[in-house]
Amino acid sequence: MKERKWISKTDGIVLCALVLCAAGCLLWRAFAQPGAVATVTVDGETVLQIDLQTAADAQSYTLENGVRLVAEDHAVRFAESDCPDGICMETGAISKAGETAACVPNRTVVYITGGTANDVDMIVY
């Protein structure tokens, strides 16, 4: 009786090609994804863009309206503001795509684009 092979030579070639294609797609996706960028707007006009991928050390940015932002550990946060309630400073650091922080009295908004999306839709304080 003839012994049957589990995998033929052609099956092995097709399987190797599929594995190589899958590995290539994963590598491309891992390295082609752009980093997160924090966009700062005042009165609806973009005044600053911060590349969070390179913001590892504490970098301070003072805007013309007196608001001070700090970018560190690949995130950005409001550090100082002359608004009466200080809610913007209590929101903490933001780093994931789709997150937004705002200082309403100073009409300053910081939002994150690019990078990986956040798993949570909304956080209410």
Q: Write the pLDDT tens digit of every residue in 55-71.
A: 778 889 999 998 999 99
Both tokens of 42, joined, read 């005042």
Residue 115 has pLDDT above 70, yes or no: no
Class of domain 37-113: mainly beta
Alpha carbons within 13 A on the beta-carbon side of 40: 23
Which of 81 and 2 is assigned the larger pLDDT?
81
Check whether 122 has a pLDDT greater than 70: no
Q: What is the pLDDT of residue 34?
A: 60
Q: What is the pLDDT of residue 42?
A: 93
CB 110 within 8 A of CB 70: no
Q: Could you tell me if 88 and 107 are in contact, meaning their C-beta atoms sit under 8 angstroms apart?
A: no
Distance CA 53, CA 79 (A): 20
Residues 6+ apart with CB under 8 A from 125: 90, 91
